[in-house]
Chains A and B, each alone.
Chain A
Amino acid sequence: MGLSTATSAVSEAIKLCVFDSRRGQQEGQELDKILFFYPADLPFTKQLYIIGLSEGLITFTRTFSPEAACEVIEAEKHSHVFFEAEPDIWMVLVVEKNKEVLATWRMDALQKLLKEIHSLFLMFHGPIRLLLEKEPTGEVSRSHLYSFIMDYLSDFLVGKKLQLPSFVDCLKERGTVHMLTIGRDAAIEVQALVRTLDSCIENASCRSLILFQDLLVSTSLSPEDTTNLFSYAVLRLTPSVLSSSASSWSYLLRGNTVSHVTQHGGNVGNRVIRPLQHGKWSKGKNGFLETDIWGMEASGRVNSTPKIWPFQTEKQMYLYVHHHKSLTLILLVPASSIPNGEQGISIIRQYFLENASLKIMTVEEKLSKGWGGENAYHVGGYRYLLIDGDRQISRASPPGKVTTLTKESLLAMSKLREKIDLEKSRAKQDGVVEEKEVEVTIRAKNNAWVISRITRRKELYMVLEKANETVLYASDMVEKFSNRYCNGAFSLD
């Protein structure tokens, strides 16, 4: 099946483009602006229409709001969500509003999706601007963006349709990390393990990330890098992803990307790395994961070691992933301090065997014992989302429990979040985000309580169905929850 047939089968209800407004400024060269467009087979006139409109409004809104240009265009049939990924490099997502139940979006959630795409892209490929500077025709950037974003979007394919996060996902927060709560003695073991991992190469600052199932256990990376690597791990690296990916990954990009690159007249010799490609990681020797995403060593026999660019270090680092049962250990080693390929991995393997194996086993045991199962964080009677903005951490009711809510309650929550998002963004622009305190308790038409509390960058969203009708009762519920699960962060004195 060819690529173009695959994409044309996808409806035009969702469009996503990346463009550089510094390019193609001469008349007739506008196509040069386009770095990515989905669906790729949309006629160029239509592609240029979206980009023309976006650029027009960016320029227009800058007249009044020079510090923050166009973020959303809301039209009767479409919403356009903007994200300025890098200076003058814009990502615009156009979603169609139709009668379909799920077509109610929260703008901030869509913007976070664009942001996630870009953050992950940065981690693997570096800034788009840099790629464009290195190779001014833009072909390399285009082929990288194409495969990367298409691989990313494939996760949202339901049948032949892209299904982006909608109001039903109002009790989730993209771009945050989900933590595992661990006991004191497990914490000590974890700490010891982290120390061991981080000092695996002498005189080199190594970093590590430990996950138990889909939850973060520990990190020695900055919050931003943690978020990105955590997102990537949950998307492609955890044991559950590995076991399921073999069967379920979509057909969206089954075709060879090379065909696309040649379509665009691209540089075939410049190999396109597709870190988000499905089914490319597999468990190899001694629990280490292997992939050919980064190509082969010169010898042609061994896979190249995966490389990423964390923000924090700004140095290229090798990525090693190790599985032990439900545990995923991610180790970042400065590329300058270890050889690529087989030689490097054998050093790490040796080190693990000698210094870490036992600790890994102990940690896994302790965590497994304390693990309460997938509904571990369910709190009876509550459907909630808790966000710690400082640490980019969130915790929420298990998805299975959230689905028990009615559509009306979810819509009400989604709309409340939309309002709160706006208030937060205004506070951010005023530089008073730290002080932002707000408490909203709404009794919706269907008698559900829809609640939001913001205090010192901590956010709590809550839906209570089948609850008593007084505001005081709802406040009481929040108070109890806050005292019990949030160390009283949302309690009133």
Chain B
Amino acid sequence: MSSGLSSLSSSDELDNFNPRTLPTTPPKPLEEELASLALTLPRPELLSDQEDVNVVSDGSAAVGFGFGIQRSDEESRAGVVCEENVVGNSAAAVVEGATGNSVWEGIDGTGVMWGRTNSEIEVDRPVSPSSSGYAGERGSSGASSGRSEMDGIADDEIQELNDDEIQELNDDDSVGDNSNSVHSWVPGKRHGDEDDASISWRKRKKHFFVLSHSGKPIYSRYGDEHKLAGFSASLQAIISFVEDGGDRVKWVRAGKHLVVFLVKGPIYLVCISCTEEPYESLRGQLELIYGQMILILTKSVNRCFERNPKFDMTSLLGGTDVVFSSLIHSFGWNPATFLHAYTCLPLAYGTRQAAGAILQDVADSGILFAILMCKHKVISLVGAQKASLHPDDMLLLANFVMSSESFRTSESFSPICLPRYNPMAFLYAYVHYFDANTYFMLLTTNSDSFYHLKECRIRIETVLLKSNVLSEVQRSMLDGGMHVEDVPVDSLPRYRTISPHLGQQRVPSEFTERFKESSAGMGGPGGLWHFIYRSIYLDQYVASEFSSPISSRQQQKRLYRAYQNIYDSMHDKEIGPHKTQFRRDENYVLLCWVTQDFELYAAFDPLADKAMAIKICNRVCQWIKDVENEVFLLGASPFSW
């Protein structure tokens, strides 16, 4: 059955949205179908107690899909029965996966996790994914059980909230400096008990809201969406009041607060921030939040609003709080969110080549993109001819996969939409984690290709293991990327490698020693603290590791905001980009250099000597050129935008 991209040209958006509605069932209103997604959210307890859910194993991470599949009750029940087997195996797979052993063969296709089950796959397998009746359950009993599942999640989240309270304190924008916080951030809704009447809520430094054009709340970073209905209505009123005047509001400034508005058809997004981030950055963040929403639902969701302007979208996004909170969290640490570029895990050229070759091997068989990643860093990436993956899509996809706990626990097959690639249609992502941080994604237009993709994955995995790519990845993770302390300070041209384990040891020169003495424990030579280098041609960037003067999370966040500001001032839409900028304030010396080929952003000690800083920037650029085949993915030919 044709689906996904092949049906893009179809005039029936509904078909795109739910491409594989069984022909035997009459089409249903889109709202109903979308609504059914939410009602079928899995509940964690159910997973452990009854093992009857095949979707996602963690309720909080669950992305409530299972796009209204129509099937008879018998079919549904049959599906449930089958799934008990599946989940049993799945649990086994989790254990094995978690131990990090490479006994992947043992999983043997039974540990299937279905992100969204809406396909009719005809395969002779003990467990057919098509038998998942989970999503298709309709009627009163299904609905009511769905309801209770939602409640279950709600309770669960409140508990989580209490658990993260301390974490949140560290993370929260509104709380003071926390200088030695190298803690793991836990995604999820914060302060769900607050609303716009709470002083604490009003004082949060950065709010994000998504609402419908009728003023119905869809998402709020803090507080309970339902309690924020009144507030949401006033945001809607502002937007529509300005629209009534024949204009469109972009931002409002009040003291240190900036309120940024973004209208995307029937969906309104608003950010209220006092973080000193510029308008363009905040707007870009709203665009990403919208993109994340499209990634989950496709733009066809607009149709729901066309049919019913008062359509309540919260239900569609039930359980996706973690996805959004982790995206919002990344605005504070991931330069990809404002550079619109991706970054690679540093690897020896040969290793990356090997990984690329393996991916290329499978990439022709109906696969649109094959991506091997380690956290948010790309190891290798291959695209089908003429298909190009926008860095923003990669960011959103990686965020979606990483924030949803379920993907970690077993292989999954999930419909996703790449907003920059095609906002109207779903692609299907096969996701599999090789270890705690390294995961592999195959994107296809074909909803029936789970088993094919699984086979591809097994093939790739075997080769990756044999060729030691995965162990190289582990080592690179341990070693980290470029350290400012290693910036070569002598001008002798020589090949340097950034990863010691790759064989060539660094030989500290006299100059290095001298510089190091002058800045012992204070970052790199000349007071260099950090840098980001973006290759314009490759759409990739490389950022140095944080040096000791910016070791705390708060310091790092502040530096990113400074980068955002300088990026913004360099890239003025009207008169930019500027060529060079030198900026000194109480926190840093920032040097920025934009050419046709690259952009360099470097942060120095505020007392750094200007001439020296300039010299060091040149060295950094030279250094990156020397090691570019380790830090960048070169020759990813299908990238052609």
Interfacial residues, chain A to chain B (CB-CB below 8 A): 49, 52-53, 56-57, 60-65, 67-78, 104, 408, 411-412, 415-416, 419, 425-426, 429, 435, 437-445, 447, 470-472, 475
Q: Out of A61, A77, A447, which one reaches B246, CB within 8 Å?
A: A77
Closest to A104 in B: B574
Are the C-beta atoms of B247 and A76 separated by less than 8 Å?
yes
* Size category, B interface: 35 or more
Q: Name the B residues within 8 Å of A470 (CB-CB).
A: 614
16 extra interchain contacts, Cβ-Cβ under 8 A, other than A53-B242, A69-B255, A437-B586?
A: A57-B238, A64-B202, A68-B256, A70-B252, A72-B253, A74-B249, A74-B251, A75-B247, A76-B247, A77-B247, A77-B248, A415-B569, A415-B574, A435-B586, A438-B583, A472-B610
Q: Does B169 contact A (CB under 8 A)?
A: no
- Judge if B585 is at the interface, Cβ distance under 8 Å: yes
20 A-B pairs within 8 Å (CB atoms) are namely: A60-B234, A60-B238, A60-B259, A61-B257, A61-B259, A64-B259, A64-B274, A65-B255, A72-B253, A73-B249, A75-B247, A76-B247, A412-B578, A426-B256, A437-B585, A438-B584, A438-B585, A444-B578, A445-B577, A470-B614
Please give, as numbers and ranges, the residues of chain A lying within 8 Å of B259 by CB-CB distance.
60-61, 64
Q: How far is the CB of A423 from chain B (nearest CB, A)?
A: 8
Q: Tell me, yes or no, whether B182 is within 8 Å of chain A by CB.
A: no
CB atoms of A443 and B202 under 8 A apart:
no
Chain B 218-262 interface mask (CB, 8 Å, partner A; 1/0) = 000000000000000010011001101111111111111101000
Chain B's interface: helix, strand, loop or mixed, by majority? mixed
Q: Which of chain B's residues 563-595 have a Cβ closer than 8 Å to chain A? A: 565, 569, 572, 574-586
| A74 in complex: contacting residue of B238, B250, B255, B610, CB < 8 Å | B250
A residues in contact with B248, CB < 8 Å = 75-77
- B contact residues around A69 at 8 Å (CB): 254-255
Which residues in B have their C-beta under 8 angstroms from that of A57?
238, 252
- Alpha-carbon separation in the docked complex, A53 to B242 (Å): 8
Chain B residue with minimal CB distance to A72?
B253
A438–B254 alpha-carbon span in the complex (Å): 23
Chain B residues near A (Cβ < 8 Å): 196, 202, 234, 237-238, 241-242, 244-257, 259, 272, 274, 276, 279, 565, 569, 572, 574-586, 610-611, 614
Q: Report Cα–Cα, A416/B576, bound state, in Å.
A: 12
Residues of chain A within 8 A (CB-CB) of B585 are: 437-439
**Residues in B whose Cβ lies below 8 Å from that of A439:** 582-585
Give Cα A71 to B258, complex, Å.
10
CA distance A57 to B255 in the complex (A): 13
- The 4 A-B residue pairs whose C-beta atoms are closest, nearest first, are A68-B255, A61-B254, A443-B580, A65-B255
* A56 contacts B584, C-beta separation under 8 Å: no
Interchain nearest-CB distance for A326 vs B (Å): 40
B579 x A441 contact (CB < 8 A): no
Contact A75-B581, Cβ < 8 Å, known A408-B575, A415-B572: no
Q: By the criterion CB–CB under 8 Å, are B247 and A445 in contact?
A: no
- Once the chains bind, are B255 and A71 in contact (CB under 8 Å)? yes
Instruction: Name the B residues within 8 Å of A475 (CB-CB).
Output: 582, 610
Quote the shortest CB–CB distance from B145 to chain A (angstroms): 40
Which residues from chain B contact A429 at a C-beta distance below 8 Å? 255-256
Contact between A444 and B252, CB atoms less than 8 A apart: no
Q: With A56-B238, A56-B241, A435-B586 given, is the CB distance from A445 to B610 under 8 Å?
A: no
**How long is the Cα–Cα vector from A280 to B565 in the complex, in angstroms?**
50
Assuming A61-B259, A415-B575, A445-B575, is B252 touching A440 (CB within 8 A)?
no
CB of A52 within 8 A of CB of B241, answer: yes
B583 CB contacts on chain A under 8 angstroms: 438-441
**In contact, A444 and B247 (Cβ under 8 angstroms):** no
Contact partners of B196 in chain A: CB under 8 A:
63
Which residues does chain B contribute within 8 Å of A65, judged by CB atoms?
A: 254-257, 274
Do residues B578 and A75 form an inter-chain contact, with CB atoms below 8 A? no
| Contact partner, B241, options A53, A415, A442, Cβ 8 Å | A53
Residues of A within 8 A of B574 (CB): 104, 411, 415
In the bound complex, what is the Cα–Cα distance between A416 and B577 (angstroms)?
13
Question: Would you give the shortest CB distance from B564 to chain A, in whole angstroms?
Answer: 13
Which chain A residue shows the least CB distance to B614?
A471
Separation of A77 and B279 alpha carbons in the complex (Å): 16
Residues on A with C-beta less than 8 A from B237 are: 56
* Min distance, Cβ B445 to any Cβ of chain A, angstroms: 37
* Residues of A contacting B614 in the complex (Cβ-Cβ under 8 angstroms): 470-472
Contacts of A49 in B (CB 8 A): 244-245
A30 CB to nearest chain B CB (Å): 15
Q: What residue in chain A is nearest B574 (Cβ atoms)?
A: A411
Collect the chain A residues with CB atoms within 8 Å of residue B238's CB. 56-57, 60
Contact of A442 among B246, B580, B584 (CB under 8 A): B580
B578 to chain A, nearest CB (A): 5
For A443, list chain B residues within 8 Å (CB).
578-581
Q: Bound complex: CA of A412 vs CA of B234, how far in Å?
A: 36
Contacting pair B252 A445 (CB below 8 A):
no
Chain B positions within 8 Å of A426 at CB level: 256, 276
Residue from B244, B247, B580 within 8 A of A78 (CB atoms): B247
Chain A residue contacts of B611, Cβ below 8 A: 472
User: Given contacts A63-B202, A435-B586, A472-B610, are A74 and B581 in contact (CB under 8 A)?
Assistant: no
Contacts of B255 in A (CB 8 A): 65, 67-69, 71, 425, 429
Q: Tell me the smallest distance from the CB of A13 to a CB of chain B, in Å.
A: 13
Determine if A411 and B575 form an interchain contact, defined as CB atoms under 8 angstroms apart: yes
Contacts of B252 in A (CB 8 A): 57, 60-61, 70, 72-74
Residues of chain B within 8 A (CB-CB) of A472 are 610-611, 614
A283 CB to closest chain B CB, in angstroms?
Answer: 47
Chain B residues near A471 (CB-CB < 8 A)? 580, 582, 610, 614
Report the Cα distance A445→B579, complex, angstroms: 6
Cα separation A104 to B572 with both chains bound (whole Å) = 13
Q: Within the assembled complex, what's the spacing in Å between the Cα atoms of A76 and B584?
A: 33
With a cutoff of 8 Å between Cβ atoms, the chain A residues found around residue B572 in the complex are 412, 415
A395–B565 CA distance with the chains assembled, in angstroms: 29
Residues from chain A with Cβ under 8 Å of B581 in the complex: 440-443
**A445 and B250 contacting across the interface, CB-CB below 8 Å:** no
Cα distance A75–B238 when bound, in Å? Answer: 12
Q: Which residues of B contact A408 (CB under 8 A)?
A: 575
Residue of A nearest to B257 (CB): A65
Contact residues in A for B251 (Cβ distance below 8 Å): 72-74
A438 to B249, CA, bound (A): 31
Chain A residues in 8 Å Cβ range of B584? 437-439
CB distance from B582 to the nearest CB of A (A): 4
Query: Chain A's nearest CB lies how many Å from the CB of B236?
Result: 12
* Closest CB in chain A relative to B619 CB, distance in Å: 16
A408 to B572, CA, bound (A): 12
In the complex, the chain A residue whose C-beta lies closest to that of B242 is: A75
